[in-house]
Amino acid sequence: DTAVSQTPKYLVTQMGNDKSIKCEQNLGHDTMYWYKQDSKKFLKIMFSYNNKELIINETVPNRFSPKSPDKAHLNLHINSLELGDSAVYFCASSPAGHNEQFFGPGTRLTVL
């Protein structure tokens, strides 16, 4: 009965590769988010979708492309991976009219 799940939990890849991280929530929430946590533990919003519509798109390189096939899923695709993309990526969701966000377990991405 996992609330917000992410796959994979760990991802190790070479520079230049393309990879995807998947997120699913079974809470019935309308809004989903991607956050990036860097090596200094700083968390920053990247994207947000509300009912499959993009509502937040922070200053993120074009190599990052979110996709929401339905309101329970929000995937993150990264092209041409760079060393600086190494981080923990968190998916989160929140219900309509609420500000509380529920986080997934995170995906640790390591680019070699």
Partner 1 sequence: AQTVTQSQPEMSVQEAETVTLSCTYDTSESNYYLFWYKQPPSRQMILVIRQEAYKQQNATENRFSVNFQKAAKSFSLKISDSQLGDTAMYFCARSRGATNKLIFGTGTLLAVQP
Instruction: List residues binding partner 1 (CB under 8 A).
Output: 31, 33, 35, 40-45, 48, 55-56, 88, 90, 92, 94, 99-103, 105-106, 108
| Nearest to partner 1 of 14, 97 (CB atom) | 97
| Nearest to partner 1 of 48, 75 (CB atom) | 48
- Find out whether 63 and 79 touch, Cβ atoms under 8 Å: yes
| Nearest to partner 1 of 44, 63 (CB atom) | 44
Give the nearest distance from C-beta 72 to partner 1 in angstroms: 18
Give the nearest distance from C-beta 62 to partner 1 in angstroms: 20
Give the nearest distance from C-beta 80 to partner 1 in angstroms: 26
92, with CB counted inside 10 A (0-12, 13-18, 19+), is: buried
Torsion, Cα of 53, 102, 109, 59 (10° steps): 40
Give the nearest distance from C-beta 88 to partner 1 in angstroms: 6
Structure tokens at 1: 């009965």
| Nearest to partner 1 of 52, 105 (CB atom) | 105
The residue count for the chain: 112
What distance in Å separates the CA atoms of residue 31 and residue 90, rounded to the nearest whole number? 14
Phi, psi of 31 (to 5 degrees): -120, 135
